Amino acid sequence: MSSIFGSNQTHLPPSPPGLPILGHLTKIPSTEQWKYFLKTSDELRCKLTTYKVLNQTIIVLNSKESIEALFTKKQDVYASKPPRKMSDISDLTMTLPFMDPGEVFTNARKQFHQGIGQAEVGTYNTDYEVASRSLIKTLSGNLECKNLTETIDDSLGHVFLKVSTGYNGPETESVLKQMNDLAHFAADVLGDKYQIFDILPFLASVPKSVPVIGPKIKLGKQWKNNLHSIAATTVRLTQESQKQETVSVMSNVYKAQGSAADGDEQSKMIAVTMNAGGMLASESATLTFLLAMAQHPDVQKRAQAQVDSVCGNRLPTMADRPDLPYVDAVLSEVLRWVSIAPVIAREVTEDDHYDGFLIPKGATIMANNYAISRDAEVFPDPESFVPTRFLDESGQKLRQDVLHPMEFAFGFGRRTCPGRYLADALLFSHFAHILKVFDVALPSESEKAKRAADAELKVKSNGAACRLESVYVTLAPRSAEATVLINQNASSANGQADGHANGHAH
C-alpha cells in the first residue's frame, strides 16, 4: 500500500491548527509552554507534535521513549544547540552550554567529568557542609527574610566559587555579583530574549547607533568584555588558592595540563561555566523544597524524624547520606514535581525519521521534561508531592525500578549537565541542614494573598531554567537546641536568633 499512496516517512508529526505565515506564533503561550505542549499531544493522541513559527519548524517530544530514542541513542544528530547569534556576539560560545559538538566541546566535558563527576564530587563534601551551615545561619538571623532568592543565590555562589577555584576571601562578594549577573544574561540568551538576531541575522551587523537594535549589540559586546574579565579573575583566584594548596576543579585541571594550561582559553572558563550554569537550576530546586515542606507538614515531620534519628544533637554531614533515604526521596520528588528545565531544545543536523515521521534537518527539537514528570504510568498521581514513590516497601531503601529524576531533570545524551552530581550533593546538604534546625510553614491564615500564590504553583522561566514564580514561607528554629546548633556551627555567628523568618521569593 505504501508504494501506491506513498510513505508517511515524508510527513511531519501532527500539528494543531495554525495561521498562514505566522503558523503557531500566537498559539504557543508565553508562559508554561510545556503544559500547552503536553495538552496538545494528548488531544492529537501522538507523543510527537509539530509547530510552525514563521519559517521555523519545531517538533516537541512528549515521552521518555521518544526523547531517549533521539537525544540519547542518536547523539550525533541531536547534540547541537539551536543557533543563537547573541552567544556569538558576547563570546558565550566559549562556555560549555553554548558550544557546538566537536573537539573543544568534548574536552570541556572531560574536564568537568574529571573535576566533579560522580566519583570525584565527594572531594568537596566539606565545602557543601560549610555552605549549608552558613545558609541556615543567614536564614535564622534575618527574621523578615524578604530576599529569599538572593540569600539562596549567595549560598550557592559561595560553594560554586570555592569548588571551582578554591577561593574564599575578601573578593568573593564582588566576584559573585558579577557571576550572578552573567548567569542571568546567559539565561536570557538561552531563553531566546534576543531571538530577533536569529530571525533576522543581518541585524547583528547594523551600527550601534541604530535605535532598539544598536543597544542590544552594545550590550552583547559589553558582556564579551565582562566574560573574559571574570574568567581572568577566576584564574588569578585559583593561582592564589594553589599557593595554599587548596584543592579545586581548576587547580586540578592546571596540574594535569601543566604549562599547557596557560594558553588554554577553555580551562579559563571552568569557574564561569560552573557558576553561570548551576546557579539558577539549584536556586529553583531549593525554592521548590521550601514550599513543598510548608505545604506538606507530614512529609517534613517524617524527614525531620529521620535526620534526628541519625544525627542526634549534631548537624548532618554528607557521610550521613546513606542513612537518610527519605531525605534523598524528598530531593528526588522536588526535582520531579517542579522541573528545573521543563523543555530542552536541540537542532537536528540531518534529516531523520522516527515512529514513521520525518524530522527535517534544521528543525528545532524540544524534549518536554514536564511530560515525563507527569506520566501517570510512571509516576501515579503525578500532581501530588509523594516522596515515598522513590522508596521500597520497607521505606528504608531507594527503589531501583523507578525512573529517577536524575535521568531526565538535567538533560540527555551528550549535553546532559556535567554539574548534576555537584548540584545533587549540594542540594542534599542544604535540605538536610534545613530539616535539622527549622520548621517550614505557610504564611498565617490571615495572609490570604500569599497563601493563594503558594497554592497556585505557577512556574516562570528564568531563560535556561525555570522556578516557582512566588514562594512565601515561614521559618522557625525547631527548638532552643536547634538555635544552639545554628550558632555554634556557623563561622559568621553573631548572637542567638529566634522567632520566625518570613521568606518570600519573587
Under 8 Å between Cβ of 422 and 430: no
pLDDT in tens, the chain (506 residues): 333 333 445 799 999 999 998 999 999 998 899 999 999 999 999 999 999 998 899 999 999 999 999 999 999 999 999 989 999 999 999 999 999 999 999 988 998 998 999 999 999 999 999 999 999 999 987 755 578 888 999 999 999 999 999 999 899 999 999 998 998 899 899 888 898 998 888 899 888 889 999 999 999 999 999 999 999 999 999 999 988 888 999 998 888 776 545 556 778 898 888 887 788 889 999 999 999 999 999 999 999 999 999 999 999 999 999 999 999 999 999 999 999 999 999 999 999 999 999 999 999 999 999 999 999 999 999 999 999 999 999 989 999 999 999 999 999 999 999 999 999 999 999 999 999 999 999 888 878 888 888 888 888 886 667 889 888 998 999 999 999 999 986 543 333 333 334 455 55
d(C-alpha 407, C-alpha 397), whole Å:
18
Q: Which three-class secondary structure state does DSSP give residue 439? A: strand
d(C-alpha 168, C-alpha 356), whole Å:
55
Q: What cell was used for 7?
A: 510513505
Q: Is 466 annotated as a binding residue?
A: no
Closest CA to 7 of 353, 466, 449, 443: 353
Closest CA to 425 of 121, 162, 112, 152: 121
Under 8 Å between Cβ of 231 and 270: no
Under 8 Å between Cβ of 338 and 468: yes
Q: What cell was used for 25?
A: 506564533
Closest CA to 294 of 432, 441, 436: 441
Domains and CATH numbers, the chain: 1-94+342-373 (3.30.43.20), 95-341+374-505 (1.10.630.10)
Task: Quote the pTM value.
Answer: 0.92
Rounded to 5 degrees, φ, ψ at 114 are -70, -25
d(C-alpha 53, C-alpha 18), whole Å:
9
Q: Widest CA span of the chain, in angstroms?
A: 83
d(C-alpha 81, C-alpha 75), whole Å:
12
